[in-house]
Structure 1
Amino acid sequence: MIELSHIRKNFGDLQVIDDISLKVNEGSVTALVGPSGGGKSTLLRCINLLEIPTSGTIRLGDAVIEFAPGKKVGWDAVQKIRRQTGMVFQNFQLFPHRTALENVMEGLVTVLKWPREKAEARARELLTKVGMAHKVDSWPSTLSGGQQQRVAIARALAMSPRVLLCDEPTSALDPELATEVVEVLSKLAAEGTTMVIATHDLRLASRVADHAVFLEAGKVVEQGAADRVFGAPEHERTRRFVSSISAAVQSGYGEGI
């Protein structure tokens, strides 16, 4: 389980996360949604400490870290958290000089020190899982955006993380390519993969997530079961956001936002 307690994050005098507490249960999928600048991606990056919270507490499995202004967090403590997470970025971030297979193998060989034969078998298994078995020897530059993102998902899964963190996984893709990624994430959700997804894409969020958190100005406005938050939100601000995004999708402009 992931538990965030009273997390705050400041960049200088700017407070971007303001006293957020959140629990993510094992096997669940949580969608972080809200307007741009609301704090979705920053909160997501706080979970695996790509951004170090200014204050609060993070618990991930047996690892617990307390943060306070001016308090330095040790590298070993950071690594205990990061080893339990896999990260999928908006812009794929594949190694351009490595094939799809080599991208997925990289962490297994260099970090976990697996023999290459064992790492290759695991990488092929994961590329098959995300529908990329036919592209194992392809370079990233020859792959579509949707294909690159599927390789990135396989790479994030290679280390068998406790939770998969996805930062706007479809926003760099056109609707057709985004559908490929939605299908893969839906499959992972059905298999019980724990995920936290920061996204504007309500199609993705409503299809994959069972819990939704609506953020604005660094605060939680509303959270609860995804079908309720998206279908019958309690707060007027959430209703306006859901309506505006839904209208944009129906008009053909919003599927990737």
Structure 2
Amino acid sequence: MIELSNITKRFGENEVLSGISLSLPEGSVTALIGPSGGGKSTLLRTINLLEVPTSGTLAIGDATVTLTEGGRLSRGQIQSIRQQTGMVFQNFQLFPHRTAIENVMESLVTVQNWPAAKARERAMSLLEKVGMAHKADAWPATLSGGQQQRIAIARALAPSPKVLLCDEPTSALDPELAAEVVDVLAQLAREGTTMVMATHDLRLASQIAERVVVLESGGVVETGPARQVFDAPERERTKRFIATLKSTGETAAPDTAPRPV
């Protein structure tokens, strides 16, 4: 279970998150959508404290941190949260001087002190899961964007996090390569992986997410089951935003129901 309580984030005088409270059950998939600058990526990054909130309370599993205006978190508090999350970035961020399998092994060997043989076995099983075992010894520069992102997903899963966070995981990819990543994330969803994703991709959100949170100007505009929000949104602002995404043609409109709960 992930609990966000009254999360506020300011950069100087600019308040980018305004008292957001959400409960995200274990095993659920939640999509954060909304116009650019609405706060979805910032909110996602507060969940693993890549962005430390100005104030509010964050809980993942049995780890809880509370921030007050002007307060600071200890390294131990930050690690207690980050150890339970895996992060998939928009631009992959693979180590260019490591092969695919070495990228997946890295955190297991350097952070968790696993023996190399055990880490390699775990890494290979994850590469098989994302359909990249045949590229285990390839360098990132020789791989397509979709292949790199699938390796990045395997790397994020390596330490068995409680939640997988995905920040625009398909936005840097053309439609065909994006489809590869959607398929991998859909399989993880069917297996019960807890995920939170910030995305503009309606195909990704509609096929995978059970729940959608619409953000604008740092606040929650609407939240509800994915099919309801996409097909019959309650708020006029949500209707306009989804209509804009469909009309631009930048993403596929939702045409399949989200996975059953």
When normalised by structure 1's length, the TM-score is 0.97
8 Å contact 2:186–2:207 — kept in the other structure? yes
8 Å contact 2:203–2:251 — kept in the other structure? no
The aligned runs of 1:1-257 (5 Å cut-off) are 1-249=1-249, 253-254=250-251
How much does 1:69 deviate?
A: 1.1
8 Å contact 2:202–2:251 — kept in the other structure? no
- Return the letter of the residue paired with 1:130: V
The gaps in structure 1 that reach 5 residues or longer are none
How much does 1:247 deviate?
A: 1.9
- Return the letter of the residue paired with 2:203: R
SS at match of 1:114: coil
SS at match of 1:134: helix
- Return the letter of the residue paired with 1:218: G
- Return the letter of the residue paired with 1:68: T
TM-superposition CA deviations, 1:231-256 (whole Å, max 9, x none): 1100000001111111223xxx445x
TM-superposition CA deviations, 1:80-108 (whole Å, max 9, x none): 00000000000000000000000000000
SS at match of 2:138: coil
Q: State the alpha-carbon separation in 1 of the partners of residues 251 and 195 from structure 2.
A: 23
Q: State the alpha-carbon separation in 2 of the partners of residues 127 and 242 from structure 1.
A: 34
Q: State the alpha-carbon separation in 2 of the partners of residues 231 and 213 from structure 1.
A: 14
SS at match of 2:196: strand
- Return the letter of the residue paired with 1:62: D
What is the aligned length? Answer: 253
SS at match of 2:160: coil
TM-superposition CA deviations, 1:140-159 (whole Å, max 9, x none): 00000000000000000001
Q: State the alpha-carbon separation in 1 of the partners of residues 2 and 119 from structure 2.
A: 28
- Return the letter of the residue paired with 1:101: I
The gaps in structure 2 that reach 5 residues or longer are 253-261
Q: State the alpha-carbon separation in 2 of the partners of residues 227 and 160 from structure 1.
A: 29
Structure 1's consecutive aligned runs of 4 or more residues displaced over 3 angstroms after TM superposition are none
SS at match of 2:42: helix
Q: State the alpha-carbon separation in 2 of the partners of residues 66 and 5 from structure 1.
A: 9
Question: Percent identity at matched positions?
Answer: 67
TM-superposition CA deviations, 1:185-243 (whole Å, max 9, x none): 00000000000000011110000100000000000000011110111100000001111
Q: State the alpha-carbon separation in 2 of the partners of residues 226 and 5 from structure 1.
A: 22
How much does 1:72 deviate?
A: 1.1
C-alpha RMSD of matched pairs (Å): 1.0
Q: State the alpha-carbon separation in 2 of the partners of residues 243 and 13 from structure 1.
A: 32
Q: State the alpha-carbon separation in 2 of the partners of residues 177 and 223 from structure 1.
A: 29
Q: State the alpha-carbon separation in 2 of the partners of residues 192 and 247 from structure 1.
A: 32
- Return the letter of the residue paired with 1:188: L
When normalised by structure 2's length, the TM-score is 0.96
Q: State the alpha-carbon separation in 1 of the partners of residues 85 and 194 from structure 2.
A: 10
8 Å contact 2:212–2:225 — kept in the other structure? yes
